[in-house]
Structure 1
Amino acid sequence: MVSRRTTLKTGAGVVAVAVGGGGVLGASPRPASAEEIATSVEPDAAGLQEVLDEMASSAASGVLAEVRGGGRVWRGSGGVAELGEGKPVVAGGRFRAGSITKSFVAAVVLQLVGEGRLRLGDSVERWLPGVVAEGGRITVRQLLQHTSGIVNYTNTRAFRTLYGGVDQVVGLRDRTWTPQELLKFTAGEALLFELGTSWMYSNTNYILLALVIERVTGNHYAREAERRVLRPLGLRGTEFPGRRSVIVGSHAHGYLPRRVGDQVEPVDITRFNPSVGGASGEVVSTAADLNRFFRALVTGRLLRPEQQRELLQIRSTGRDYDYGLGVETKVVNGTRLWGHEGDIFGYQAASWSTEDGRRQLTVSYNPWGSGDPESFIERLLAVAFRNR
């Protein structure tokens, strides 16, 4: 996406509040290790807010974040909820989280594996006969870890032609896509590499995994995720909207840049049917919910021990992160983090947790301006996971 600059006013952050002893970040019943001591440092409220304000002045129309650590929770925001209006971004507001959907899908798949209803070594053909070329050789594990070699449907020429410009995206904003229609974009496409020999991120993998979940359980993947993850964890701000185009509740608006002569104007894309992302990128959530979800996921609350070990088996990607089964991982300030990043038109998000669950960061922003948002996210990570 081409970023553009718009004059913005920054919003104030919310001061850190304490979490009680029975809350998300309780005290350890054993002596803390050096790493645990480092990751239990309270959030640097001033440093975090500074990054958000600078980001909102040059790279985003709005941004929000929540950091948990040291028994404290810090929430902050910057920019405006809607361009041309003075209302600040609500730090506890909802947002589209894109590919973070994949981690929810992976949690459901691994729970089914733990229940003996599915195996990581099962072929796609076993559950979805005739749906994928080479499906008899491609396994569930390879779908989860992006080692299947299946082409990413959003990278195909047919898809990029259809969604090739701002006016085209806006024209399709109410279009409902079925998983089968999304898979058609990859029809006739050869595998990118021999199975398991390399790594390439592919949204197609998770469209297929959702269909596997449906075949195994008889339920839509979203219903299984709600029953198995959202309700047990109390994630009341999270939903899989399907074809619903409106974000319910407080939220910042998302924009795309349209060039008109020598000027660039923002096109509001907040109202958007996310079925084009489906199980690869439709989730709507909050920073608090995503922090709670990834803490539960990486610390083993959602999975049995064997599946937990599988979740955290790392595959090198050649990018600035490596990949487990539906989760990204990277090292910041010497501490290994687990989580996922995601984007969909007008919105980008990232959620990260330390492996021991003692510190989390979730950030959502709406790209807009001449600055590089990734540089600000790197700074935010550095501050959030500072060891002292």
Structure 2
Amino acid sequence: MILENKNILIGVTGSIAAYKTAHLIRLLVKEKANVKVVMTPAAAEFITPLTLSTLSRNPVYSHFSDKDTGEWTSHVELGLWADLLLVAPASANTLAKCVTGVCDNLLQAVYLSARCPVIFAPAMDLDMYRHPSVQANLAILKSYDNRVIEPNTGELASGLEGKGRMAEPEELVEALQREFSAEPLLKGKTVVVTAGPTQEDIDPVRFISNHSSGKMGFEIARSFARGGAAVHLVAGPVALPDIPGVNRINVRTATEMFEAVNSLHEQADFVIFSAAVADYRPETVAQQKIKKQDDEMFIELEKTVDIAAELGRVKRENQVHVGFALETDNELQNARGKLARKNFDMIVLNSLQDKGAGFRYDTNKITIFDQNGGEKSFGLKPKEVVADDIKNAVLEYYKSIR
């Protein structure tokens, strides 16, 4: 587990979204993180310290000292203890204090003395969030090398609809996982991943497609995002949820996928072509549903754009292209031929002959070839783990060509 034995300090401020912090802490403890909580006085009006103490299995800190015993809470020690400080929810008031260095409560003192990365998860009403002063404060906090997790859009406590809902606990956990699994080589890098099938229309009702679920491509996008890269996921029609921190672009046809990837290609450092793009499409698309008449029906097909080949022709130096080959026979020969033909740097081979590999499964079994003559095979693994194997192989190759 990425967060196992990591020291996570949660700062809770005065916001109705504080109720989500209980679930957040529970998720972090489940990930085997060490969790401590610092609350502002206003936060205690929304959720009790007892609740958060019980869930975190640690005392909750909210005052500089205990009035009855005189015992002092060292904000310096808390700041040094933490591997990461997450302020969730972060109210407009707390954001402003962090910008100006106001130090009138324990959380502010911890923030000013912390040496670890700091992440803010804002939560407030839509008009407050979009106010120029709040936006200016967020920009300043980012300039201080803090991270901000953008709030979601939805129904707010005021009853209004808009941007201001604190990111969900699951999204915050994903953000922390990305923070701790960041790869130095991926810092500042842009990755484009294609995933899923395409659909090529026959008529308004029918289309040509394939069995791709998009699971492998989505896990690859997630792995690179966790590694710290800026990830663009160009997804065909699949029933998979968005990935926090990943820019998803939905497309349907091969042409739409090409246009989307082409628009991102120049800025990309790594392009992972994991989509199962239809090789052919109907030459003519009927405007009305084709009625059943004869015993046979013939459809004239034409080739779709070969996205990987087209972009392989304009691939620049040190730009890494990774292809996929799903084969049923002559696997090694076909994969190596595709590696050369499409100017890939690497190609990932999986075979439909291997049980548990290929479309729709949650597992995969792969072999990776590269232009340096490298060849590495992996056993059957969950696609989440396979995605990490692919990412690590890509980074190893990238090191060799820098």
- With structure 1 as the length reference, what TM-score do the two structures score? 0.21
Structure showing greater relative contact order (alpha-carbon pairs closer than 8 Å, 6 or more residues apart):
1
Larger Rg: 2
TM-score normalised by L of structure 2 = 0.21
